[in-house]
Amino acid sequence: MTKAEKVSDILATLEKLYPDPPIPLDHKDAYTLLIAVLLSAQCTDVRVNKTTPSLFKLADNPYDMMKLSVDEIREIIKPCGLSPMKSKGIAGLSKILVEQYNGEVPNTFEALESLPAVGHKTASVVMTQWFGVPAFPVDTHIHRLAYRWGLSSGKSVEQTEKDLKRLIPEEKWNKAHLQIIFFGREYCTARGHDWKVCPICMKYMRKELRD
Give the number of other CB atoms < 10 A from CB of residue 78: 14
- The pTM is what? 0.93
Rounded Cα–Cα distance for residues 24 and 7 (Å): 24
CATH 1.10.1670.10 residue spans of the chain: 3-21+136-210
Percent over 70 (pLDDT), the chain: 100
Architecture of the CATH domain 30-129: Orthogonal Bundle (1.10)
CATH 1.10.340.30 spans which residues of the chain?
30-129
pLDDT tens-digit profile of 137-186?
998 889 999 999 999 998 899 999 999 999 999 999 999 999 999 999 99
Q: Catalytic one among 45, 60, 139, 163?
A: 139
Annotated catalytic residue 9: no
Position 208 confidence tier, pLDDT thresholds 50, 70, 90: confident
Q: Which of 86, 121, 163, 175 is catalytic?
A: 121
Fold category of 3-21+136-210 in CATH = Endonuclease Iii, domain 2 (1.10.1670)
Which tens digit of pLDDT belongs to each residue from 56-83?
Answer: 999 999 999 999 999 999 999 999 999 9
Does the annotation mark 121 as catalytic? yes
Q: Read off the pLDDT band of 98 (50, 70, 90).
A: very high
51 to 56, 75, 76: CA distances (angstroms): 9, 11, 7
Q: Does residue 1 register a pLDDT over 90?
A: no
Which residue, 134, 95, 140, is CA-closest to 117? 95
